[in-house]
Structure 1
Amino acid sequence: MPDIAAFLLEKILLAVFLFIVVLAVVAYATLGERKIAGFFQDRHGPNRAGPWGLFQPIADGVKFFMKEEMIPDRASKVAFVIAPTFTFTAAGLLMAAIPFGDRILIGGREVLLQLADIHIGILYILAVGSLGVYGIIVGGWASNNKYSLMGGLRASSQMISYEIAMGLAIVALLIDHGTPSLRQIVLQQSGSLWHWSVFSNPLGFLIFYVAAFAEASRIPFDLPEAENELVAGYHTEYSSMKFGLFQFGEYTHMTLSSGIIATLYFGGWNIPWVAVPEQATFWWGLLTFAVFWAKTLFFMFVFMWVRWTIPRFRYDQLMYLGWKRLIPLGILNIFLTAGLLLLFQQIGWAR
């Protein structure tokens, strides 16, 4: 019984710690994106709230809380209110299966920096990652606004189109690693830099990354919002903290998607040519935690870089890319991965 209590306490404290870390990263990702946008547009970006604008996320949060709540008269009020929580909650659930680091020694006890080492972790993130679109669809329908509804319909068709491509990329990854466990996939990428999945499955990485952009509804895939076509898309009628939850859910999804990309294709918390020690230590666990976030922040930067570099696709271009390019490439990638794996096994080059 004491062991169960200690285990539950460990998981609760770890969940609180990881939630605070993700919350802080997401909050300052908004500031980082505005600074990057300023750099690309030859301006300073936010620099009034605190030194170098460091208190801007706090000011934005206070602003969202203080603004007046507006609910349209003809809206479906219950669905209108709960819709933003779907997006944020679905993005937050992704956090449960991601390995944020290796084992860390705290108080003589080994703690795995992963909330749940789910055996089917890769299928879990595929399933949970697509739930956020329900918040967009419900919010668009409940607003009783034609632009909001159009944004919700676009989001659903976009999710279906690119979820298939992402699933095909994951099938190739399963063939390569032979396990759906995220922790085992990370461990198989330890040792040499060339063990990273991006080198054994580069086409799969490209497909997965493009699909992740589409699922996060970021430019050039932000068709559900498309300000010049749909006013503000699915959140046209939203204001105050409900609007803030939609934005927070988008940035949380981008952050955790970046972490998943780092986990699946770039070794996760692994350091190239550094062996994983048999015994956990505090400093090793802290180092792996820092390495994971360094890789994640890099991919977050790429998300932001693309947003301020590439213009939005037309809707027909979006569907063409998903159905006529990524899905056929995903099927081809499965056959290539299986064929090359069989060839490498025959000549003794298997992982």
Structure 2
Amino acid sequence: VSFIGVFQPFSDMFKLFFKEFFLLNYFNFFIYLFFPILSFTLMMLIYIVLPFDNMNLYFNFSILFMLCCLMMNVFFILLMSWSSNSKYSYLSSIRMVAQMISYEVSMFIYLMCFILLLNSMSFLDLIKNQKYLWLLFMLIMVFIILFIIFLSELNRIPFDFMEGESELVSGFNIEYGSGMFAMIFIFEYLNILFLSLIMIILFMSGEIYNLFSYLKFFM
């Protein structure tokens, strides 16, 4: 589809949204339908912590707000899997809760390094303090550890226990289809993009209005 398949994901998304939607026999109707939309909305909301050029939405506790939103993802995925009333999605949610909560504690502790180092909970202050020297050069071990923690937070290889296809088929979203399935996947990939930008802001002075920051993002 198009040049080297650039528009293939977009065509797949539109195809999913227009597929027929089936209702299950035994499921919690409200949670099953509402929480995929709520998780997608929360993922869109979390992007306001990024320090854009005009700074209209700048606030002092952006790191704390980000942590609160990321910790809410655990409850959303747990409730979505439980509402499906499927043993495969339920087993996947048990794995996910054990993994994400344990790594989120470590993530909170390591982000405290930045809060104590700069005496601030704002991403904008992080960018200002890296004007002449990136924190990557001073905190290289913290960078490596946070990278591993973010991989587990995103359930990417080798931490993809939630979607173990050999034993759990597709994980917590096995009973979802049509537009709801598309929303869950958009939510997951927005989460990947967001945490990639956060890594750049934490360690490489990610000025969102600077073209060089996007080159670092793609690297």
TM-score, normalised via structure 2 length: 0.93
Gaps of 5+ in 1: 1-48, 104-110, 271-284, 299-351
Higher-Rg structure is 1
Match of 1:262 in 2: 200
Q: Distance in 1 between matches of 2:4 and 2:68?
A: 40
Q: Distance in 2 between matches of 1:236 and 1:214?
A: 20
Match of 1:38 in 2: none
Shift, 1:156, TM fit: 1.5
Gaps of 5+ in 2: none
Shift, 1:85, TM fit: 2.0
Alignment: residue pair count: 219
Shift, 1:86, TM fit: 3.3
Match of 1:32 in 2: none
Match of 1:183 in 2: 124
Question: Does structure 2 retain, via aligned residues, the 8 Å contact 1:169–1:204?
Answer: yes
Shift, 1:295, TM fit: 2.1
- Paired letter, 2:97: S
Higher relative CO (CA 8 A, sep ≥ 6), structure 1 or 2? Answer: 2
- Paired letter, 2:68: A
Match of 2:18 in 1: 66
Match of 1:202 in 2: 140
Q: Distance in 1 between matches of 2:159 and 2:153?
A: 8
Match of 1:125 in 2: 66
- Paired letter, 1:204: V
State the secondary structure of the residue aligned to 1:200: coil
Q: Distance in 2 between matches of 1:144 and 1:128?
A: 26
Match of 2:6 in 1: 54
Match of 2:179 in 1: 241
Match of 1:316 in 2: none
Question: Does structure 2 retain, via aligned residues, the 8 Å contact 1:140–1:234?
Answer: yes
Q: Given the alignment of the two structures, is residue 219 of structure 1 paired with residue 157 of structure 2, yes or no?
A: yes
Q: Distance in 2 between matches of 1:118 and 1:203?
A: 29
Q: Which runs of 4+ in 1 moved over 3 A?
A: none
Q: Distance in 2 between matches of 1:89 and 1:162?
A: 24
Q: Where does 1:269-284 land on structure 2 (aligned, <5 Å)? A: 269=207
Q: Distance in 1 between matches of 2:62 and 2:87?
A: 38
Q: Percent identity?
A: 29
Shift, 1:135, TM fit: 2.1
Question: Does structure 2 retain, via aligned residues, the 8 Å contact 1:186–1:268?
Answer: yes
Match of 2:216 in 1: 295
Q: Distance in 1 between matches of 2:164 and 2:151?
A: 15
Shift, 1:147, TM fit: 0.6
- Paired letter, 2:199: I
Q: 1:219 to 1:71 in 2, by over 3 A?
A: farther
Shift, 1:296, TM fit: 2.2
Out of 84, 87, 101, the position equivalent to 1:146 is 87
Q: Distance in 1 between matches of 2:113 and 2:70?
A: 19
State the secondary structure of the residue aligned to 1:75: coil
Cα deviation digits, residues 283-304 of structure 1 (max 9, x gap)? xx5xx1x223222222xxxxxx
Q: Distance in 2 between matches of 1:53 and 1:64?
A: 18
Q: 1:86 to 1:211 in 2, by over 3 A?
A: farther
Shift, 1:141, TM fit: 0.2
Q: Distance in 2 between matches of 1:297 and 1:157?
A: 31
Q: Distance in 1 between matches of 2:200 and 2:9?
A: 26
TM-score, normalised via structure 1 length: 0.59
Cα deviation digits, residues 195-218 of structure 1 (max 9, x gap)? 211122222222221111111111
